[in-house]
Structure 1
Amino acid sequence: MRHIIFLASLLFFFSCGDKKSSNEKFLLDSSGSINNVSVVIDNKLWNGNVGETIRTVLAKPIYGLPQDEPTFSISQIPPAVFSDFVTKNRTILKVEMNKEASFKVLKDVYAKPQKVILVSGKTKQDIIDLITQNEEKIMETFRNEEIAERRRQMSKSPHKFTSIKEKLGLSIQFPSIYEVAKETDNFFWFRKDITTGHSHLMIYELPFEALEKSDSTVIQIIKIRDSIGKAYFKGRLDGTVNADGDTVSSFMITEDAYAPFHGETILDNKPTFETKGLWELTNDFMGGSFINYTIEDKVNKRWVGVEGFIFAPSVEKRNYMLELEAIIKSVKID
């Protein structure tokens, strides 16, 4: 009798395990291009004020790019055709009418990883109000999902630069396609060739007294990055002699005609200054976008700077900058 009970228990255990495994397999891998959001909404709503509100939020131009590019590309899907593979997109905004007003952020509903934001309401104004009130939450949810996805993609071929940890006491994730362009005891510069240009990442440390928290913090950060640009990032014409017989000096600086964005955030549980804007070369016509994070490392009594910038004329830059942001936000300081 005891043998029968034991066998029954084993069968129950394995059947539960099979059921769990079956449920996990049911959720297929999500898909979709980086920075593309599927919006499930009736055509009439999409072509009216509700759709206009959604487009205003999701397609808002990204600050810090030379030309206007939307934060997200949008694929509108009528509810009647929202089924099968169409439901597998990584980021989905779904609008439901004639229901109680509600705003929900759901995880792994139709696939994984996936974020689904469900907005419902009894009237069009309900929907508009909820989207407007939760604009920051919507953008943060979808952007974090895209950063996580880009990081997952890059983790398939990680770099092997152990000297970063040895010299700077930190780890950071980026793909092996990046090559070292410059390395010193407290400064690293990595470069990757991209379509029509190149993408750059630099990591460095500064003495704690090099930066003071004040109303002029952004000015201090710009001066620091400009001094680094002058030291390391020279233009094609630097050192050449012009028609007047003068030696040309060409190096990277922050473009002063475009006011940089400056804010405060948290990175690796540490207070961090975020700065983004445009860069240019003196006495040359090259330029592009940059994003800089300056991290307060109180334990080691220093500041850690991590910056990404690109040169990519004639192509969209949004996805390149997302990759650099994903890399920077992976930093872990010992």
Structure 2
Amino acid sequence: MKKLGTLLLVASIVLALGACNDSGSNKRFLPPSTGPVNSLMVVMDTELWKGPVGDKIRDEFAAQIIGLPQIEPLFTITQLPPKVFKGTTTYSRSILYVEKDSTVLAHISTDAYSKPQKVAVITGPTEEIMIKNLDSLAPRAIKEFKAVELAEAQKRFSRSLSKDKALEEEFGITMDVPSLYKVGKREKNFVWMDIQIPKGTMNIIAYSMPWDSFENDSTFVQDIVRMRDSIGEKYIPGPYENTYMITEKAFAPYVFPAEIGGKKAAEVKGVWEIHGYPMAGPFLTYIVNDKEHNRKMILEGFTFAPSTEKRDYMFELEAILKTVNFEPQAPAD
């Protein structure tokens, strides 16, 4: 029966993909996908979930997110037995289907049951083969799940966007910023927008640096810290005199290659703190190579939310920053 169940699942995915490629009246209607952002539906036998295969899934898909001050998982996982995977449960936006079966499969499909949706399917005759398939597919599955979740987050806040022109007027860029974010500080070459959240704030800042600000790869991380600390001292005060934002001294930030707004960039994740006062939180910075305007464009999101999970706050900030558009002409110096 498991073999039949797997074949039916694969067949339904193939049919769905084929229907999506048809035009006109043959095109299959797909309901909108559902679920909280950063949630993952894992469809697999409960006994399998409790064993090594389930452990592997948790290691990969519920891994700790780097750059947060507390342990939070990459995805919030809900496990569901295959026999109840029907009806509205198939509308989840991100799905991982895992089954022990003689068929060996490691595949990702798009919009199989709803839209937008990603469904990753893993099967194998033994737990060892299933774990091997998970090893090979997990990085791509995580990337595609995250992409569909980012798109969903952007869709949700795009319904009401800020009409403020501060970013365009200062830097010649635009971003899809929700209307609840307000510009709290604007100076030459610096814009700070924020929104009140329960117990804290979410913040977006933007500024530019000279093109040759980071010439030495061997000191790149130190230069980033020096840059952030100087900006924090100048523009981002703490609650008392002589207190201001700096990069947490205890741990160096993580740096990854990225692309944002169609340009190469460095993605920086870490924790900020207030010099001289016990406040801290996560930050996400993009250092964008804007060669056309001979500058490094710096876009950053940071959150202050003590005693609160911060994953989804930082995910919203990432979704906002990734809407940056460099098409408008940058203002002349």
Question: Taking structure 2 as the reference length, what is the TM-score of the superposition?
Answer: 0.89
1:265 partnered with 2:258: yes
Q: How far did 1:184 drift?
A: 2.1
Structure 2 unmatched runs, 5+: 1-22, 328-333
**1:219 pairs with 2:222:** yes
User: Greater shift after overlay, 309-318 or 117-126?
Assistant: 117-126
Matched, 1:285 2:288: no
Taking only aligned residues, the RMSD between alpha carbons, in angstroms, comes to 1.3
Paired with 1:44 and 1:235, the residues of 2 have a C-alpha distance of 51
Of 46, 58, 62, 1:43 maps to 46
The answer for the alignment partner of 1:312 in structure 2 is: 305
Shift of residue 126 of structure 1?
1.3
Q: What CA deviation, in whole Å up to 9, does each residue of 1:160-192 have, x standing for no partner?
A: 122322321111111000010111232110001
Runs of 4+ more than 2 Å apart: 16-20
- For 1:296, the aligned partner's letter is N
Give distance in 1, aligned partners of 2:228 and 2:234.
Answer: 10
CA distance in 2, matches of 1:293, 1:218: 13
Q: Which amino acid aligns with 1:326?
A: A
Compute the displacement of 1:135 (Å). Answer: 2.5
TM-score by length of 1: 0.88
SS at 1:274's partner residue? Answer: strand
Name the residue aligned to 2:246.
253
Q: CA deviation at 1:269?
A: 2.7
Q: What is the percentage of aligned positions where both structures have the same residue?
A: 38
Show structure 1 runs of 5+ residues with no match: 1-15, 239-248
| Bigger mean CA offset, 203-212 vs 64-73 | 203-212
1:194 corresponds to: 197
Aligned to 2:86: 83
Cα pair 2:166 2:191 within 8 Å, conserved? no
- 1:136 partner amino acid: P
Q: How many residues align structurally?
A: 305
Query: What is the letter of the counterpart of residue 253 of structure 2?
Result: P
Q: Which moved more, 1:88-97 or 1:131-140?
A: 131-140
Q: Return the match for 2:187 from 181, 184, 188.
A: 184
Q: Does 1:173 align with 2:166?
A: no
Q: Letter of the aligned partner of 1:259 in structure 2? A: A
Work out whether residues 218 and 275 of structure 1, in 8 Å CA contact, stay in contact via their aligned partners in 2: no
SS in structure 2 of the partner of residue 191 of structure 1: strand
Partner of 2:13: none
Q: 1:203 aligns with which of 203, 206, 218?
A: 206
The 5 A counterparts of 1:1-334 are 17-20=24-27, 23-24=28-29, 27-238=30-241, 249-334=242-327
Q: Is the contact made by 2:271 and 2:281 (CA closer than 8 Å) also made in structure 1?
A: yes
Rounded Cα–Cα distance in structure 2 between residues aligned with 1:17 and 1:331: 35
The corresponding residue for 2:3 is none
1:5 is aligned to: none
Deviation at 1:96, TM superposition (A): 2.5
Give me the whole-angstrom Cα distance separating, in 2, the residues matched to 1:193 and 1:166.
24
Give, in angstroms, the shift of residue 19 of structure 1: 4.7
**Higher alpha-carbon deviation: 157-166 or 272-281:** 157-166
- TM-superposed deviation, 1:100: 2.5
Q: Which residue in 2 is equivalent to 1:7?
A: none
1-side partners of 2:52 and 2:88: how far apart? 29
Contact map agreement 1:198 1:312 (CA 8 A) in 2: yes
Distance across 1 between alignment mates of 2:262 and 2:25? 40
Whether the 8 Å CA contact 2:107–2:137 is kept in 1: the answer is no
Alpha-carbon separation, structure 2, partners of 1:146 and 1:182: 31
Residue 276 of structure 1: SS of its match in structure 2? strand
Hey, what's the Cα distance between the residues in 1 that align with 2:321 and 2:91? 28
In structure 2, what residue type is equivalent to 1:201?
I
TM-superposition CA deviations, 1:129-173 (whole Å, max 9, x none): 011122321221111111111011010001112232232111111
Which letter maps to 1:124?
Answer: E
Report the secondary structure of 1:28's partner residue. coil
